């Protein structure tokens, strides 16, 4: 089973005014911190970004969206469409405190499900989840019908409570 860590860094950072993936914490860019965590739990890592010039320093493959301007779901679609892997571990570029142990915990809980995402304070965090490649057609269907919300293909979910990792 091949695992792929994907950092979703395709946003325009319009609200912040600067590329949030390049902000520094203790002298390291946020995207570098996330890439290190992904490397600790996946076989390969990829950056999903529409402007590759910002991320060449990471020396990781960079995949551009096929559905331009359609948000994180488009980044998920492009990386899954263009990458040979069975499981995809996603992280948004503004999640500097993500930890590889969270993904390992999610993977242990995945079972036969197509995807698993963390829930914190009863709120889904789909951009920090683990997804099987077989969700790709569902993502593509949502993009074709302009349903850009990542949670749009989660028909129901149950909250896992009192889980520790």
What mean pLDDT is predicted for residues 81-92?
97
State yes or no: 124 annotated in a binding site. no
State yes or no: 78 annotated in a binding site. no
Is residue 161 pLDDT above 50, yes or no? no
In this structure, whether the domain defined by 3-153 belongs to CATH 3.90.550.10 is answered with yes
Ranking 20-24, 41-45, 63-67, 146-150 by mean pLDDT, the lowest is 20-24
Is residue 16 pLDDT above 60, yes or no? no
Q: How far apart are CA 35 and CA 40, in angstroms?
A: 9
For the stretch 108-123, pLDDT in tens is: 999 999 999 988 887 8
State yes or no: 112 annotated in a binding site. no
Q: Supply the pLDDT for residue 36.
A: 96
Q: Supply the pLDDT for residue 11.
A: 62
pLDDT band at 52 (very low <50, low <70, confident <90, very high): confident
Q: For the chain, which residues make up each domain, given as ranges?
A: 3-153
Is residue 29 pLDDT above 50, yes or no? yes
What mean pLDDT is predicted for residues 68-95?
95
At 91, which helix (H) or strand (E)?
A: strand 87-92
State yes or no: 8 annotated in a binding site. yes
**Going along the chain, which residue ranges are E strands?**
3-8, 24-25, 28-29, 44-48, 62-63, 87-92, 115-116, 119-120, 123-124, 130-132
- In Å, what is the CA distance from 108 to each residue of 82, 144, 154? 26, 32, 19
State yes or no: 65 annotated in a binding site. yes
């Amino acid at each position: 089973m091949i695992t792929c860590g994907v950092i979703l860094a395709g946003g325009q950072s319009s609200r912040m005014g600067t590329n949030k993936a390049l902000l520094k914490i203790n002298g390291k860019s946020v995207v570098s911190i996330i890439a290190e965590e992904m490397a600790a739990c996946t076989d390969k890592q990829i950056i999903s970004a529409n402007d590759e010039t910002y991320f060449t320093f990471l020396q990781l493959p960079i995949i551009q969206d096929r559905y331009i301007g359609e948000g994180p779901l488009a980044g998920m679609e492009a990386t899954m469409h263009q990458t040979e892997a069975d499981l995809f571990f996603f992280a948004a570029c503004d999640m500097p405190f993500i930890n590889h142990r969270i993904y390992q915990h999610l993977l242990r809980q995945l079972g036969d499900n197509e995807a698993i995402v963390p829930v914190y304070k009863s709120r889904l965090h789909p951009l920090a989840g683990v997804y099987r490649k077989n969700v790709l057609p569902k993502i593509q269907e949502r993009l074709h019908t302009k349903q850009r919300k990542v949670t749009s293909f989660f028909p129901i979910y149950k909250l896992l409570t009192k889980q520790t990792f």
